[in-house]
Structure 1
């Protein structure tokens, strides 16, 4: 029996019980049972039905709910593993491959300057792997920002972390108040922002990043929207670079945005660099 049918049976059985009892009482039992006695027996019958049939239906309903909850937990775990696998494949595995190539180059170095240059490249690659590992660990946490931090503090903390690890000047221009976004929206938006910033750090060769948040209140409706823009001055991006085989970052951001009913675009900026834009409805 399906979950939907169980709910309908639980709703209709007491009503049908009263209806059948009243029909039998008026059509067949009225000469034998007084009106007062019939009124007294009606809740007794409903109570007995609730103790027997409805009790078993509620037990089945609880079992179904527990089963659905277990399925949701398993699904969430698989999704988390898939996300981690994508990040490992796209970031760490490629960086380790580049590290092995540079070690081979170090073995073939002919002069001290070549050794020094290759050693510096290896150091940068190791730092890059370290950043990817930190990012993967952060994505495994239940929430992307600590509970003792406010929403704005989390954004500035993320910007400072990117600036510290990559040296890219990161500016925050945020004008969306915390109360205008639900907790779930903040969680998903910060995860998308983190992925976008990591992509800039890994691929864009940028010198500056601007994180901007704007809010537009609708005059004649409740469809107020927010707009989050991440703009860098790097080498730009092409359609082929975004969706080439083995690249998961943009796909993961789009999946998160689509799950929230938002639109996400990644395109070349007007003058130089790349612009990531998320537009969604606020609460």
Structure 2
């Protein structure tokens, strides 16, 4: 309620009422001064009271009407500017606002239009640079493959290799306890099964990175559908995919988006412990909209997450920004994670 009464419309009304109050006090002071100093016959206390009362009532009514009337146009124009700023924040730089008036708001609107045009040109420049970067990346493909293999080797050593070693140790301990203490052996075998499942999930996530960086001639729709179908067959996680068939995208945007989705699904498999994943890809208002959500354990975005997961999120954000897009992450403990990406196209 306080926020509503602090709007520009009520500010106009308050200013009109303030003017009425000052005018009423001034007229009353003048009439009282004439009555005290000159004492004319036509001026009596009763006439002063009647005049001031009628004036005050009429002035209040007129002030309320003129306040609403005069602030309506101003509020509407400010709302247009607010919507334009929101559109820019969401990556829709094609939006414009036009005023016929020649006042300060019209000047601000023209400056906002120029800002939108500059942002739109910057997006085109970023996408052109991304195209050039993609060509350069293809020429340096061999070096990238070697670096990727080295990284995967480190991940295998840090994660799967250590887990397999732990499986070996627990299995040997369970065998020793099998005859002497079957209950303890059973608990140890349950831990072995749990660790084996974790190792299997870790391995599947790492294998995602062995897929080609480029779509190898497939469209984004086909490539993502194949990826999701493969994960459905090899993972206990349930995947739901909603993607437009005919996406008019450049090769560079398709490659970047495909890699972003690979990284997101890899993070979910390795860190989220999710049972359901939903992926939506569509075009909305001249932009590519991507939404990925899971029902995993989530995390506090204001605190440092696991180093590998943080690296993956940073990579996805950088790839989105290279295309002039926006990357929004929302997550809470035990409430899953939502990733929203908008890329102008």
The alignment's TM-score, normalised by the length of structure 1, stands at 0.60
* Alignment equivalent of 1:101, drawn from 166, 190, 194: 166
> Is the counterpart of residue 212 in structure 1 residue 265 in structure 2?
no
Secondary structure in 1 matching 2:279 = strand
Q: For residue 201 of structure 2, give the secondary structure of its aligned residue in structure 1.
A: helix
Is it true that 1:166 corresponds to 2:231 in the alignment? no
Spell out, residue by residue over 1:62-103, the C-alpha distance to the aligned partner (whole angstroms, 9 max, x if none): xxxxxxxxx877765555544554454456622322332232
The equivalent residue for 1:244 is: 307
How far apart are the structure 2 equivalents of 1:271 and 1:215? 30
Question: Contact between 1:216 and 1:226, CA under 8 Å: does it hold in 2?
Answer: yes
How far did 1:108 drift? 2.5
Equivalent residue, structure 2, for 1:151: 220
Report the secondary structure of 2:274's partner residue. Answer: coil
Q: For residue 296 of structure 2, what is the aligned residue in structure 1?
A: 234
Indicate the SS of the match to 1:178: coil
> Superposition pairs for residues 25-44 of structure 1, below 5 Å?
none
CA contact (8 A) 1:237 1:267 kept: no
The alpha-carbon deviation at position 209 of structure 1 amounts to 0.9
Is the CA contact 1:87–1:248 (under 8 Å) kept in the aligned structure 2? no
Report the alpha carbon displacement of residue 155 of structure 1 after superposing the two structures with TM. 1.6
Secondary structure of 1:272's aligned partner: coil
Q: Distance in 2 between the 1:133 and 1:82 partners? A: 14
Match in the other structure for 1:4 = none
- Structure 1 residues 245, 200: CA separation in 2 closer, same or farther (over 3 Å shift)? closer
Is 1:106–1:119's contact at 8 Å kept on the other side of the alignment?
Answer: yes
Q: CA deviation at 1:246?
A: 8.1
In 2, Cα distance between equivalents of 1:195 and 1:72 = 18
Q: CA RMSD in A?
A: 3.2
SS of equivalent to 2:242: strand
CA contact (8 A) 1:231 1:275 kept: yes
Structural mapping, 1:128-147, within 5 Å: 128-138=201-211, 141=212, 143=214, 145-147=215-217
For structure 1, which runs of at least 5 residues remain unmatched after alignment?
A: 1-70, 218-223
Q: Which residue pairs with 1:114 in the alignment?
A: 187
**Unaligned 5+ residue runs, structure 2?**
1-135
Q: Which has the larger radius of gyration?
A: 2
TM-score, structure 2 as length reference? 0.50
Give per-residue Cα distances to partners, 1:127-156, cap 9 Å, x unaligned: 235424522321xx352x342x43322221
Tell me the residue number matched to 1:198.
266
